[in-house]
Structure 1
Amino acid sequence: MKIGELSKKTGLATSKIRFYEEIGLLRLVNRSANGYRTYPPEAEVILNLIANGQKAGFSLDELRTLLPADLEHWQHDNLLNALHQKLADIEGLERKLVENKRQLTNIIAEIEAKPDDIDCKDNAKRVISKMSLNKGLKS
C-alpha cells in the first residue's frame, strides 16, 4: 500500500510515518523504481504498536529496542521485562502524584484557614513557617 492509504488506516500523518522510517522504527518499506514508498500490511501493525507504545509512556528509543525487524521475531523476555519496568515506573509516578496532591491539599487548607485578624502577607508567612516546621504540612 502507499503512504496515503497507510496514513488513513493508522490515523498518523504521512510526515510522522516518514519520520518513523527515517529513525529506523519502521523498516517495512519498499521503494519502487519511481521512488514511491510501498508498505506491506504489517506496517500498519508496527505503526499501531509504536503509537500505542508512546501512549503507554515508552520513548521512541525504548520502542526501537523492543520492536522486532519483522513481526516473526519477538524477543519475549525483553518485551516482558520492559513492560514490567514501565508499569513499575508508572506506579512510582502515581505514588509521587498522590504525595504531591496531599501536600497541595494541606497547603490550600492552611491558606484557607487564615485567621481573620491577619492580612494575606502575614498569612503567607504563617503558612510558610508552618511548612518549614512540618516539612510540607504532613498530615
Structure 2
Amino acid sequence: MRIGELAKITGLAPSRIRFYEASGLITSVGRKANGYRDYAPDTEWVLQNITGAQGAGFSLDEIRQLLPTNASGWQHDELLTGLKRKVAEIEVLQQRLTQNKAQLLLVIAGVEGKPEGMPCTDNTQLLLHRLREEGMAAVSGSRQKT
C-alpha cells in the first residue's frame, strides 16, 4: 500500500506517516523501483493504535515500548508495567480534573448567586476567599488521609 492510500484510509497527513516511520513506530516494506514506499496492510492498524494511544496521553517513547514491532512480539512484563503506569497517571489526572470541576462549579454558583445590590468587585473578593478556604480544606484533608 502506498503512502497516499494509507493517508486517505487513516486520515493522517503523509508527512505524519513519514514522521512515524522515521521515529521507528512503523516500517515500510520497502521502496519500489519508482521510489514509492510500500506499506504492509497491517500498517493501518498500527497507525490507528498510535494515534489512539497519543489521544490517551501516551508519549511516542511509551508507544514505542508498547508496540509489538519485532518478531518476538510484546515484552510481557514491560507491557504490563507501562500500561499500569499509564493507568496510575490517568487516575491522578482524573483527581485533578475533579478538583478543577469542583472549583469551577463553586465559581459558577457564586457568580449566579451574587446577592442583589452587591458590587461585582465585592462578590469577586468573596469568591476568591471561598476558593482559598476550599483549597486549604482540600490540602489539609489530603494530609489527614496520608
Q: TM-score range by the shorter chain?
A: 0.7 to 0.9
Relative to structure 2, which stretch is displaced further, 19-28 or 93-102?
Answer: 19-28
Relative to structure 2, which stretch is displaced further, 69-78 or 118-127?
Answer: 69-78
- What amino acid sits opposite 2:25 in the alignment? L
Q: CA deviation at 1:87?
A: 1.7
CA displacement, residues 1-32 of structure 1 (integer Å, 9 cap, x when unaligned): 22222223333222221111122211243122
Residue of structure 2 in register with 1:115 after alignment:
115
Q: CA deviation at 1:137?
A: 8.4
Residue of structure 2 in register with 1:106 after alignment:
106
Relative to structure 2, which stretch is displaced further, 90-99 or 105-114?
Answer: 105-114
Assess, with a 3 A threshold, how the Cα gap between structure 1 residues 126 and 137 changes in structure 2: closer, same or farther. Answer: farther
- Measured on the aligned residues, the alpha-carbon RMSD in Å equals 2.5
Residue of structure 1 in register with 2:89 after alignment:
89
Judge conservation of contact 1:28–1:42 (CA < 8 Å) in 2. no
Q: State the aligned residue count.
A: 138
TM-score with structure 2 setting the length: 0.77
TM-score with structure 1 setting the length: 0.80
- What amino acid sits opposite 1:53 in the alignment? A
Give distance in 2, aligned partners of 1:109 and 1:138: 19
Residue of structure 1 in register with 2:141 after alignment:
none
CA displacement, residues 55-96 of structure 1 (integer Å, 9 cap, x when unaligned): 222111211222233365211221222122212211221111
3-state DSSP of counterpart to 2:57:
coil
Judge conservation of contact 1:58–1:86 (CA < 8 Å) in 2. yes
Within-5 A mapping of 1:63-78 = 63-70=63-70, 72-78=72-78
Q: Which runs of 4+ in 1 moved over 3 A?
A: 129-132, 135-139
Judge conservation of contact 2:110–2:127 (CA < 8 Å) in 1. yes
Residue of structure 2 in register with 1:43 after alignment:
43
Give distance in 2, aligned partners of 1:55 and 1:129: 37
